């Protein structure tokens, strides 16, 4: 593989950085401007003239658009402005790099191999989207630019600059520590407000709400030693694996939406005309918001690596800003970000709801696609798993180990645990912020969450 293709995941962030700066400043107005940008990138990384289509397609993907093969720039800027949403598929293939690739220099032989068979090595990668788990592993492992996920920030810029459109940043629990050891969540809130967001909300708050819902469901559905319950919270990779490959187990899965979806639905209910942007450690969330039964809940998804580049491009330094601190979520909600967090949180509420329960919640926590598949195979075959609550996370370490994080999983996990311990709210049951939300639905008791039809629909998949 030629050196210019290596480390392309970082090079595409440089491309994205340039697009952000130019578009934010109004310097991208025509196809001429896009052509000049492509030429700058060609010269910077010593690409040949014949490789200009590869560069142009990466510019398109960084703008949230589909690649167009060898086509010249034409209506890209108009298409982006007229489109409210970034259209599926999220992961796209870019022609060019594979023809320079050798078997020893490419990771594709092992990526997506056993669980989806979406990535088959030929002259180009083959993506079969109806089998894809949307884990994003193929994108992060292919560092030569043959696969890329669309970036959803450029279409968002006009909304952020429109003072009449309130846009909320809903941040995943794994965000803590991702922008520097000394950067607090309050400083991130200030930085996001500088970008044009109305406010930053911890999605861990909505994880608290769903924890109570799943605890109530566990108490209702697990009555005997043979019963078991799968959580669907957080991870679309886990959910997609169960739904697509294990239909006989799917009936044991909670019908809950993810905390991300719940955050968007509830924020839009509370604030008329609001748009919601989820900020995440992964690629899978970009696909989740486009599922037919969930579409419209979240408008855009940005990942941590992209947000870091946005801050850099716009000369925003969160670590030097005044902090705007708010304590929104419990310890339990915040540790959803790491393996075992969901199980711990649900168990605390189950124990509060029924302290004398005969059948105790006994959790099995698995992370990484291999381990998720193994526990599902065991359940299918009837093998004893010695648990009645099974939590699966597609990434090793949970969301803290997502493919679009800025720090390693060990450090991220420690930061998540520390931030959880900093909360003045121990469990979801103690979170008064939940009661403030529930009052908008006419609910005055946490145990009555599922008695309100409007809220029940918001928290439940069709």
d(CA 387, CA 63): 45
Q: How confident is residue 177, by pLDDT bands cut at 50, 70 and 90?
A: very high
* Cβ atoms 45, 18 nearer than 8 A: no
Helix (H) or strand (E) holding 301, with range, is strand 300-303
pLDDT tens for each residue of 316-330: 999 999 999 999 999
Q: What is the SS3 assignment for 260?
A: helix
- pLDDT digits 0-9 by tens, 135-165: 777 888 787 888 899 999 999 999 999 888 8
How far from the centroid of its chain's Cα atoms is residue 339's Cα? 16
CA distance linking residue 15 with residue 98, whole number of Å: 20
Please report, in angstroms and rounded to a whole number, the separation of the first and last CA atoms in the chain.
46
pLDDT tens digit sequence for 342-381: 999 999 999 999 888 889 999 999 999 999 999 999 999 9
The predicted model gives 90-117 an average pLDDT of: 62
- Residue 317 Cα distances to 121, 152, 191, 307, 309, angstroms: 42, 21, 7, 12, 11
Sequence-ordered strand ranges (E) for 29-184: 91-93, 147-149, 167-171
Q: What are the tens digits of pLDDT across the range 383-420? A: 989 999 999 999 999 999 999 999 999 999 999 999 99
Average pLDDT over residues 214-231: 92
Q: What is the mean pLDDT of the chain?
A: 90
Tell me the C-alpha to C-alpha distance, in Å, between residue 360 and each of 253, 357, 365: 18, 6, 16
Residue for token digits 């970000």? 337
pTM value is 0.93
pLDDT for 454? 95
Q: Which has the minimum average pLDDT: 230-234, 247-251, 315-319, 434-438? A: 230-234
pLDDT of 21-47, one tens digit each?
A: 999 999 999 999 999 999 999 999 889
d(CA 321, CA 449): 38
């Amino acid at each position: 593989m030629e050196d210019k293709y290596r480390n392309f995941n970082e090079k595409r962030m440089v491309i994205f950085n340039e697009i952000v700066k130019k578009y934010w400043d109004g310097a991208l107005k025509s196809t001429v401007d896009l052509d000049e940008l492509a030429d700058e990138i060609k010269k910077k990384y010593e690409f040949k003239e014949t490789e200009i289509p590869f560069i142009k397609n990466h510019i398109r993907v960084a703008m949230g658009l589909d690649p167009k093969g060898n086509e010249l720039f034409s209506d890209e800027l108009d298409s982006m402005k007229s489109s409210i949403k970034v259209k599926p598929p999220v992961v796209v293939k870019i022609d060019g790099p594979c023809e320079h690739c050798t078997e020893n220099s490419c990771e594709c032989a092992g990526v997506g191999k056993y669980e989806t068979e979406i990535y088959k090595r030929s002259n180009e990668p083959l993506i079969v989207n109806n089998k894809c788990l949307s884990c994003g592993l193929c994108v992060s492992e292919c560092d030569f630019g043959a696969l890329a996920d669309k970036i959803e920030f450029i279409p968002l810029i006009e909304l952020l600059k429109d003072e009449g459109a309130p846009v909320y940043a809903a941040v995943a629990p794994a965000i803590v520590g991702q922008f520097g050891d000394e950067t607090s969540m309050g400083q991130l809130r200030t930085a996001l407000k500088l970008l044009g967001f109305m406010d930053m909300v911890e999605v861990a708050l909505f994880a608290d709400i769903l924890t109570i819902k799943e605890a109530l469901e566990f108490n209702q559905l697990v009555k005997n030693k043979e019963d078991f319950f799968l959580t669907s919270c957080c991870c679309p990779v886990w959910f997609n694996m169960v739904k697509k490959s294990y239909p006989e187990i799917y009936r044991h899965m909670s019908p809950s939406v993810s905390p991300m979806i719940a955050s968007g639905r509830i924020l839009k209910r509370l604030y008329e005309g609001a748009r919601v942007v989820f900020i995440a450690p992964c690629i899978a969330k970009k696909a989740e918001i486009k599922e037919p039964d969930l579409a419209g809940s979240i408008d855009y998804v940005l990942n941590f690596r992209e947000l870091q580049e946005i801050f850099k491009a716009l000369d925003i330094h969160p670590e030097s800003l005044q902090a705007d601190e708010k304590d929104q979520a419990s310890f339990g909600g915040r540790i959803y970000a790491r393996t075992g967090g969901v199980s711990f949180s649900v168990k605390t509420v189950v124990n509060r709801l029924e302290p004398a329960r005969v059948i105790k919640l006994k959790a099995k926590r698995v992370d990484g696609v291999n381990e998720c598949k193994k526990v599902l195979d065991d359940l299918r075959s009837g093998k004893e798993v010695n648990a009645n609550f099974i939590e699966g996370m597609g990434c090793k370490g949970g969301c803290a180990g997502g493919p679009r994080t800025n720090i390693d999983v060990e450090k991220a996990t420690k930061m998540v645990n520390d931030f959880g311990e900093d909360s003045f709210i121990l469990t979801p049951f103690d979170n008064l912020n939940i009661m403030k939300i529930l009052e908008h639905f006419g609910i005055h008791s946490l145990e009555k969450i599922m008695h309100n039809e409007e809220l029940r629909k918001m928290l439940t998949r069709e």
